[in-house]
Amino acid sequence: MECVAMVTEAALWLLIVVFFIVLPAMFGVSLGVSGVYIQVLVRILQWATVRIQRGRQEQPEHTGGSMEEEMEQLRLSRRPEAGDFSLSDAIYFCQKGLESIVEDQVTQRFSSEELASWNLLTRTNQNFQYISLRLTIFWVLGVFVRYGVLLPLRVALAVIGLSWLVLGTTVVGFLPESSVKNWLSELVHLTCYRICARGLSATIHYHNKENRPQKGGICVANHTTPIDVVILANDGCYAMVGQIHRGLMGVIQRSMVRSCPHIWFERSEMKDRHAVTSRLRAHVSARTKLPILIFPEGTCVNNTSVLMFKKGSFEVRGTIHPVAIKYDPRFGDAFWNSTKYSMVSYLLRMMTSWAIVVNVWYLPPMTIQ
């Protein structure tokens, strides 16, 4: 009897997920739940900010001294017979110089953006010094909601979305080349990415939709996270460019390329710049093919600035459609620091964050002069 009850509850839960989340996502319909959820989060975070500010005002303010004051403290700590000068004084200036080199503008782009206040996701924020009892209670409740409620739901949605992508693209791949096949392929990709976006509690605001990338063009965007693909593909389909992988990612890539002309390269081909350029040029020359999605920075940056673009994607001489993506860091850190987190641990962080709130700006198309 207990097994039957568990199976019934699981079936009922899956039915609710499919009818109230998956199906509306597939048709691009919102029931308004995510909007209410974001508004509640904003109010809670605003209240937490006020509580933190009150706590800081009650604590004595501590300000760091100048370099002269720090040197004076070092000299006072020495023995009197050491005199006014010591060769070890140079070590202090070497330390400051190395800190300036390590913390230059480029290096800071590969570390997570510091928040002005605590977003109830971690207890180690550098700007967070005071914890009140009520804040601690809210933090504990937040951990339960994020890991006990949101995480299982989001994992289920991700599994449904990826399964639909593999199954749908595989079936469409058996159809003969025609406009119907292209339409079905775009439909499968679009619905899959929309389900995955719901799995991340993504709230996406698109601006200047009249500038959306068109077929036969190249879409270039700043790169913060692998989720950028999901964010952009919610509003239109793209041909992806990337290296061939093994394992689960390889299965997904092989199923996708059956129904849509994505451009996958072997590792040896990626080093051959001319081979990559020629394949991109051949794709762009066919005006009926989906726009190519490229991240010309070549790596993920923390969404506070943009690195210099690599010029390969601009040598194809197609129409360039620039896109700017900006994440709201209050609800979760979307930046993927690949040197610190593996893909699995990063996705776990994303699925246990409050939400993904992002603005996407389509900029006017450009051609080389």
* Cβ atoms < 10 Å from Cβ of 254: 16
pLDDT for residue 220: 92
Reported as half-sphere exposure (CB side, CA atoms, 13 A), residue 285 has a value of 7
Residue holding tokens 């209410």? 36
**237-272 pLDDT per residue, tens:** 888 887 777 776 777 777 787 777 788 877 666 556
The secondary structure of 149-165 as a DSSP string is IIHHHHHHHHHHHHHHH
Beta strands in the chain (DSSP E): 202-207, 218-221, 239-243, 263-265, 292-294, 320-327, 356-362
Amino acid at 366: M
**337-366 pLDDT per residue, tens:** 888 888 888 888 888 999 999 999 999 999
CA distance 38 to 29: 17
Prediction pTM value: 0.78
